[in-house]
Amino acid sequence: MKKNESKLDRIIRIFAGVILLALYFAGTVSGTLRIVFIVVGALLLVTGLVGYCPLYGLLKLTTKKS
């Protein structure tokens, strides 16, 4: 897996993922939205930490400069 996310992209993903997971664990949201928050938050956090986005790879996109 070749990294395809820029540093700024990774920081934004990690920040957004942590916020969504914090809202989930704090019990701020409920119902279906709570499930969406944990799934999206976990995906954002993992892709931000790893530096590779499978959707970017599928669409042959990159935010990382060569």
- From the list 48, 62, 43, the residue with the least C-alpha distance to 2 is 62
State whether the Cα torsion 56-57-58-61 is positive or negative: positive
Average pLDDT, the chain: 95
| pTM confidence score | 0.90
What pLDDT digit, counting tens, does each position of 26-50 carry?
999 999 999 999 999 999 999 999 9
